Chains A and B, each alone.
Chain A
Amino acid sequence: MNASYSTYRALFDVSFSVPAGTIVALLGANGAGKSTVARVATGLVAATSGKVLVGGRDVTRTAAHRIARMGVFHVPEGRGVFADLDVEENLRLALRRRVGARHLAEAMERAYTTFPVLAARRHQQAGTLSGGEQRILSLAGVLEAAPKLVIADELSLGLAPVIVDGVYEGLKAIHARGAALLVVEQQVDRALSLATHAVLLARGAVHWQGPPQQARAEMEELLAAGYAPPV
């Protein structure tokens, strides 16, 4: 894919795949274009050229809400919940379309049992939750909705390490239910400990991709090279 923000070009021939059931770590410095990849994949930003395939289906020109209904979940950077709605309403919004009105109540109860933090805060406005609780709320909506692919954008950003542990537990639970994960991170070690494949992004292009064990060395090299633009 290629992508740009009005005149500013952000992605240059980025290409990789996330096979079913795998965890891919998308790594790169601040501004490398990781979030843009996530946005193009879920239809929030239009690709200027190239293709996005989900399960073999071309979704490059598909509207974001349709891609979401296909089972592709994007947990965005920062606040990913509706601050004006309470916890219960956020969950209801996330789940009703995916599990159907009939199974909604059960799904919500399951979410509350998996994440007791949320059960205690059912009627609290989501905007008043802590950062960690907000991420958990996003993941709870994803977990119960039987996703095919989850794109998690910098879930660890701004959280204390203990809280990050909790959030990553949520991610693992989602993976355990059979979803493929694309984990976007700046905190390399976290993502690599989980991943089966790593993609290294630099200045809007794929600098390297391969097994996670080698990713560290590649990153060091990239740093030493002063992030020279890929040739």
Chain B
Amino acid sequence: MSTLLGYVLPGIPYGCDFALMAVGLVITFRTTGVFNLAFGAQAFGAAFVFDLLVRSEGLPVWAAFVLSVLLLSPAVGLVLDRFLFSRIATTNMTAKIVSSVGLLIAIPQLLPILFGGSPRENPPSLWLDQAHVEFRLFGTAVNGSEVSTTVITLGAVAALLLFLRLSPAGLEMRAVVESRRLAQLQGIDSGKVAASAWALSSVMAGLAGVLLLPLSNVLNPTNPLQFTGLLVAGLTAAALARMRSIGVAFGAAIGLGVAQEVLELYFPNGALHTASVNAFPFIVLVGTLVGSKSLRSLGFRADPMAGVDPPPPPPSVSIRDPRLDVPMKWGFRALIVAFVVSGLTWVPGYWVTPLDAGLVYSTIFLSVTLITGASGQLSLCQASFAGVGAFAAGQLAAHFGLPVLLGAVVGGLMAAVLGAVLALLAARISGLILTLLTLAFALMADTFLFQYSWSGGSGTGVSVPRPVMGSIDFTSNRAFLVLALVVLLLCILLVALVQRGTTGRFLAAMRGSEPGAASLGINLLRARVTVFAMSAGIAGVGGAMFGSLYSPVSADSFVYEISLAFVVVVITTGSRRIEGAVQAGMSFAIIQFLFTYAPSRFQGLTPILFAFGALNYAQHPEGMVEYQKSRWMMRVSRLLARVDGRRGTAPTALAAGAAGNGMAGGVVGGSAPNGAPGLAGSPVGLSSGVVSPRG
């Protein structure tokens, strides 16, 4: 009994750490309407500054706390609200997730740039000392940081509960989350309330970060997301609380902490240990995400005042003079030929590897295009699928002597099966919850699926040989270029076929509205299983190529942060078109390569660059790069129209519409696909814009 208690007690401060994360996620969601995946990153940032102030600047702990948690954190929250989240419509769930993913990538990368990248040991404790044993309870030593974490967490959670339930400000925050407009009609300054909600949530993040500091013995700015276990537990507890109840989130987090300690007791080591201790939170998390009814309807509560805002401008992708299609197509082909010829001849050797990488990344990114571009669904586990492909190809080659290319196909198939299983599990969920399920899968791959010698090769990694086909040897980087290009083109062909075919139409309908698509008799499940399986398969093949390029590869190459980066990169360059994936792959690889010339602390600039692109998702869902590209297309179209006008030939309807509308706000001319919005092409001020009430 006392041994059991000996495990339960240390489980409590552990649970408190989880609770800080879980309660933070829930309170942010309830007061701002954003499921802030970057909460942990914000916490880390505040903790980092706190540590800096105490140790480098020699400030007393309380002063550092005031500066970092009570002043800097809310300031960051206000900035986030002002420049990011206040511009996203309450109902635009995808934009909110993408923005938080962008932040999750940008914030940790900013830290080493600002403060240097050397790791620091034994970070300071906020209140009581970690090394000091405060008292013994049933024979278990309780140290200072455990006491301070528990006490402060309890206090903070109680205060938040009271605040949300009883204070007028808490009530207003909950109202503003549901509808800014409706709140305004009640005399509430919605903008101010939303800003204070962000400030509050950020203070909470700062507090969590500072309390969690003693947990990590080393504070490493270049690898800041070492809190994976924390994220998993926080997600699980928040999901158990249905993202609603702070009390339940707290209780669930404590329960998880204790359960993990108790599992440690019964399965101290061996295979059962890994299976139970590591898998346990995931079983709970996935079960809750898939099974909970109230989570399923989460975020589907429409803003009753949504009708006030004009519809967002259609993505500017649709504006393109058809006469540009042919030159574009041939230009693209010429570019490929030029690329191959240059890659094989004059390009210096050290430049060939980034080009190889660009093609391989393009292949993997195609999987993102397929899933996000076509169905509008965000998947945060594409790197895990890539890992499955890479490890399968490597292990099959090592143990069964399977040729690598065959291994890549098998690996792709294995990833496809996993993708299909994921889609089947997710049969009844969508939106945010589906995204979280993919994140759970990615975290699961990180924490244990890839940690075995038969999968991720634990420690040494897995070597994936370069393919050799009879007399054709792809060992050299230049030869590999040709192979990577062929694989990429095959995958492009596959994606293009899917997008043009029936499944593609189904997916496009799903992107508009899932219930709407279902009511048309579209079998959503089949469409979704198809797209998840194909996307995972392509990622798997791309992953195998990646492994072959950079062999040996370990689980580190496919962690969840990489998945997040993939999504962010593709969204920035454009997820709606196949070209977007190629643009993303090439630019990612090349920019990354260019930054190897910069000092090491600036390595993080590549992801930051793309993360900032993703932060514009609400304004430009078609992607920043695609947006700029189509602006240039517009100019060319307008020029063409003018030339036509001078020649006296009738300009095409499209060019006229485009020219007449002047593009400024990204407003589409007469070319909107399927002719949908009634406002297209009606210039301001014409009464023809008013629809006949009888018509």
Contact = CB atoms under 8 A, between A and B. Distances in A.
Contacts of B682: 7-8
A85 B171 contact: yes
B684 A203 contact: no
A44 B186 contact: no
A44 B188 contact: no
Nearest to B686: A9
A129 interface: no
A63 interface: yes
A103 to B, nearest CB: 14
Interface stretch (A52-60, A92-100, A107-115, A159-167): A92-100
B665 interface: yes
A80 B187 contact: no
Contacts of B684: 4, 7, 9
B512 interface: no
Interface stretch (B304-312, B350-358, B426-434): B304-312
Contacts of B183: 65, 93
A229 to B, nearest CB: 5
Contacts of B172: 93
Interface stretch (A15-23, A24-32, A174-182, A208-216): A24-32
Classify the interface of chain B: helix, strand, loop or mixed: loop
B181 A203 contact: no
A229 B308 CA distance: 24
B207 interface: no
A203 B175 CA distance: 34
A12 interface: yes
B178 A84 contact: yes
Interface in B176-204: 177-179, 181-190
A32 B684 CA distance: 17
Contacts of B679: 5-8
Given A6-B679, A39-B308, A202 B693 contact: yes
B184 A68 contact: yes
Nearest to A28: B693
A85 B682 CA distance: 41
B687 A76 contact: no
A30 B694 CA distance: 9
Classify the interface of chain A: helix, strand, loop or mixed: loop
Contacts of A97: 186-188
B175 A93 contact: yes
Nearest to B188: A65
Interface in A29-83: 29-33, 35, 39, 42-45, 63-65, 68-69, 73-74, 76-83
A76 B181 CA distance: 10
A226 interface: yes
B693 A64 contact: no
Given A7-B679, A31-B691, A76-B305, A83 B178 contact: yes
Interface residues of B, number: 43
Interface in B638-695: 661, 665, 667, 678-679, 682-687, 689-694
A5 B305 contact: no
A218 interface: no
B516 interface: no
B500 interface: no
Given A6-B679, A12-B687, A227-B693, A42 B301 contact: no
A74 B686 CA distance: 29
B455 to A, nearest CB: 44
Contacts of B692: 203, 227
Contacts of A141: 186
Contacts of A28: 693
A82 B182 contact: yes
A94 B171 contact: no
A203 B301 CA distance: 32
A6 B181 contact: no
Interface in A130-149: 141
B307 to A, nearest CB: 8
Contacts of B168: 92, 96, 101
A170 B85 CA distance: 38
Given A9-B685, A65-B190, A89 B693 contact: no
B178 A98 contact: no
Interface in B301-354: 301, 304-305, 307-308, 310-311, 313
Contacts of A68: 184-187
A170 to B, nearest CB: 17
A82 B175 contact: yes
A119 interface: no
B304 A76 contact: yes
B174 to A, nearest CB: 6
Contact of B181 (A44, A204, A227): A44
A10 interface: yes
B694 A227 contact: yes
Contacts of B311: 6
B693 A65 contact: no
Interface string B132-156: 0000000000000000000000000
A78 B179 CA distance: 13
Contacts of B683: 7
A10 B679 CA distance: 11
B28 to A, nearest CB: 16
A85 B188 CA distance: 15
A92 B190 contact: no
A76 B304 CA distance: 9
A63 B310 CA distance: 18
Nearest to A227: B693
Interface in A164-220: 202-204
Contacts of B687: 9, 12, 203-204, 229
A97 B614 CA distance: 39
Contacts of B175: 82, 85, 93
B301 A93 contact: no
A84 B191 CA distance: 20
A7 B311 CA distance: 11
B301 A83 contact: yes
Interface of A: 4-10, 12, 28-33, 35, 39, 42-45, 63-65, 68-69, 73-74, 76-85, 89, 92-94, 96-98, 101, 127, 141, 202-204, 226-227, 229
Q: 4 tightest CB-CB pairs across the interface, nearest first?
A: A5-B310, A29-B693, A64-B184, A68-B187
13 contacts: A28-B693, A31-B693, A42-B185, A44-B181, A65-B185, A65-B186, A68-B186, A73-B185, A80-B185, A84-B301, A96-B168, A97-B188, A203-B690
Given A30-B693, A203-B690, 11 more contacts: A6-B667, A6-B679, A65-B183, A65-B184, A68-B184, A73-B185, A74-B185, A85-B171, A101-B168, A203-B687, A227-B693
